[in-house]
Amino acid sequence: MRWVWLLLITAFLLLALLPATGATEQPLTNEDIIALSKAGLSDSAIIVTIGRSRPQFELSASALVKLKQAGVSNAVIEAMLGARPAAPSEGGASSRTAPSTPPAAAGPLPSAYGYYVLDGVELQPLEPVPVVTRMGLQPGGLVPGNPGHGVDGFSGEPPITISTQMPSIIVYQQALDVGALRMSMLEFTRTMHAYQFNVLGTDRQFFSTVYGGMTPETEIAVNLWRPKDATRIRVEPVEGKPGMFRLSPGSPLASGRYALWLGSALHPIGTVFAATSERRASAYYFGVGASPSSITSQSTGAPGRPDIVALTRNIPGSDYFQSQERTFSVGFDKVWAAAEQVFARTSLLKRQADKVMTADKDKGVLITAPTVHSRLLGESFKRQFLVVIEPVGENATKVTVKGLCYDRREAEWVPWDSTQCNRMFFQELETGLKREG
């Protein structure tokens, strides 16, 4: 009987051990992320946790809204979107794996702290570049050192240009708040007007006295490359390298100039901030896909076709507005005809035709003169459009537009939001395309 007891005891011990050997850590869920965020963990710590787990996140639109409402940062949500989900078989002993290490295809890793870009298989250092602060308005006039309001950006050429449109950026820095990292394509701002810096709301009649003889229409030279559209980036911790993160764009980068920065070191177009000319900041400035001297923002990409920047360079106030582009699954001729009709038609909101200054079909360029329109209620608005239309396939046409729209308020023309003005054009263009069938 003794061997029977030994057999029973052995079987009992094996059964007791089975759950321990077959168990794995619980998959990371949305609720876990919310709990970590509310507990006060930094974005870096949460992102590292995501990278070392096999998550089972719910990433529907409603779930993302719930995460945001619960206070989860954009950086963490983007890390969740880019995380590798747990395999369906996870939960058994056979599916348990050790944390993965970066594959050889991920490229070399740096040994020293700093910022690097992996261009193909070559790891190149990114050196910080001084950010230039351009003052617009200062009480008493533009005096060095005086507080006032300005904008910032880069001057000159980027120190490095990479060929790949899907670069991998390696950031190696201890105690880094990865949630504060920002990346954006840049657009050149040549000039601005004084009223664009008037965040204090100084009345027109006192403007000249307060700002040393300036009027709201005084043109101020800026000549800076400034952040235009935020680039979505995925941030992943590098396994086994504390403080090292791999950044990759969510989609291929268009040829152009780009910046990578932390926090408020750099400000996007449309932002005017309190500063002095002695402000000091730095960021990372690089080109993608072409030699720096040939890079322009919003290029149409077709030989012989002018870009929006070139078209608007000498139009006062155009630097305040931004361009937008859309691609339509329609042939070039139909899009061109519909665009011409946008300016020729009248409606309840636009009771007269726009005056067309340039209609060059060979180059795909339509430019209207500033035209004042009266609404039914008697209110006036003024608009001007610069349009580049480019065939990009047999039945695909890209349209780039920059609209300059203003409302008449008392004795002044007040600029619209760029998006609202461009949306007006695209809505009228879509209506025309539907009408043409």
Residue 62 has what pLDDT? Answer: 81
283, pLDDT greater than 90: yes
Among the ranges given (48-57, 236-245, 279-288, 362-371), the one the predictor scored with the smallest mean pLDDT: 48-57
Among the ranges given (175-184, 225-234, 304-313, 343-352), the one the predictor scored with the smallest mean pLDDT: 304-313
pTM of the model: 0.50
Q: What DSSP element (H or E) covers 176?
A: none
20: pLDDT confidence band, cut at 50, 70 and 90? Answer: very low
43: pLDDT confidence band, cut at 50, 70 and 90? Answer: confident
316: pLDDT confidence band, cut at 50, 70 and 90? Answer: low
Backbone angles phi, psi at 177, to 5 degrees: -90, 95
Query: Where in the chain are the domains?
Result: 2-95, 104-294, 308-436
- The mean pLDDT value for 266-286 works out to 90
Terminal-residue alpha carbon distance, the chain: 92
- The mean pLDDT value for 49-77 works out to 81
What is the b/e burial string over 386-423, where b = at least 16 CB atoms within 10 angstroms of the residue's CB? bbbbbbeeeeebbbbbbbbbbeeeeeebebbebeebbe
Backbone angles phi, psi at 296, to 5 degrees: -130, 155
- The mean pLDDT value for 148-154 works out to 93
Residue 260 has what pLDDT? Answer: 95
Query: Which tens digit of pLDDT belongs to each residue from 352-410?
Result: 788 888 888 888 888 888 888 876 556 678 888 889 998 877 678 889 998 888 887 76
Could you tell me if 158 and 292 are in contact, meaning their C-beta atoms sit under 8 angstroms apart?
Answer: yes
150: pLDDT confidence band, cut at 50, 70 and 90? Answer: very high
CA distance linking residue 267 with residue 151, whole number of Å: 7
Query: Which tens digit of pLDDT belongs to each residue from 213-241?
Result: 888 888 888 889 999 878 888 888 988 88
19, pLDDT greater than 50: no
Q: In this prediction, what percent of the chain has a pLDDT beyond 90? A: 17
For the chain, what is the mean pLDDT?
A: 78
CA distance linking residue 319 with residue 193, whole number of Å: 9
- The mean pLDDT value for 47-59 works out to 78
Q: Which CATH class is domain 308-436?
A: alpha beta
272, pLDDT greater than 80: yes
Residue 315 has what pLDDT? Answer: 67
Say which residue, 122 or 133, is predicted with more confidence.
133
Residue 348 has what pLDDT? Answer: 61
15, pLDDT greater than 70: no
Using DSSP, state whether 291 is helix, strand or coil. Answer: coil
Asked whether the CA dihedral 108, 181, 266, 311 is positive or negative, the reply is positive
Highest-scoring range by mean pLDDT, 110-124, 143-157, 259-273: 259-273
